[in-house]
Amino acid sequence: MRKFLKTEIDLLYEEIQPEEEVLWRGKPRLIPNLSFITTLILILLTDIVFIIMRYLKLNNQFDINTIFLDWFLISLLISAIVIIFYLFYYSQKYYQNMINIFYVITSTRLLIFNSKKGKIVLSKLFPTVKLLRLKKTIFDSNTIVFDIEMIEDRMVEIGFNNINDADEVMDIIKHQLKHLKNKD
């Protein structure tokens, strides 16, 4: 797990109430959505195979003008370049967004902080948690989903993304939810 900076810890204790106890805090791993990146890489590899096959076909009738005037080869090259730039852009944007995010579970709520903005991005009280699920992928990026939001006709899952000890965190949340039900 990445280390917390002193400013992040100070921000955490400034924002929580005195009666709240911090049960867990963590940061997401800085790994972008690997299934998305894998898909892009497979498309890129397919594109490269098509470029090689097209080049070999044109190489039989080697004429430099034929290669440069071949619209199919040019479009394959352009698409390969676009995919490479998009991979770098997506990874950099993800890194910039997630470097300042950290997650906290207190005795009363779930919190998502943004240390760059210096504020709580999301605060979810335990009684308002209606959905709780652990989302695992084959790439070992574990996410705990505890809310769903509609943004521009699209359903977005909200939770703790790419955390290392997701099973332990899930147990903490379940224990707090069970503890609240026993109080009623």
Q: First and final CA of the chain: distance in angstroms?
A: 36
Surface-to-core class of residue 105, CB atoms within 10 Å of its CB (0-12 exposed, 13-18 middle, 19+ buried) = buried
Mean pLDDT of 71-95: 87
> What tokens were used for 86?
């998009």
| d(C-alpha 155, C-alpha 94), whole Å | 19
pLDDT at 4 over 80: no
Angle at the Cα of 140 from the Cα atoms of 138 and 144, rounded to 5 degrees: 110
The residue to which tokens 């690997």 are assigned: 34
Write out the CATH class of domain 6-30+99-183. Answer: mainly beta
Condensed to tens digits (0 to 9), the pLDDT of residues 113-142 reads: 888 888 888 889 988 888 888 888 766 668
pTM of the model: 0.72
Query: What residue segments make up the domains of the chain, in order of their start?
Result: 6-30+99-183, 35-95
Judge contact between 156 and 148, C-beta under 8 A: yes
**Confidence at residue 99, expressed as pLDDT on a 0 to 100 scale:** 86
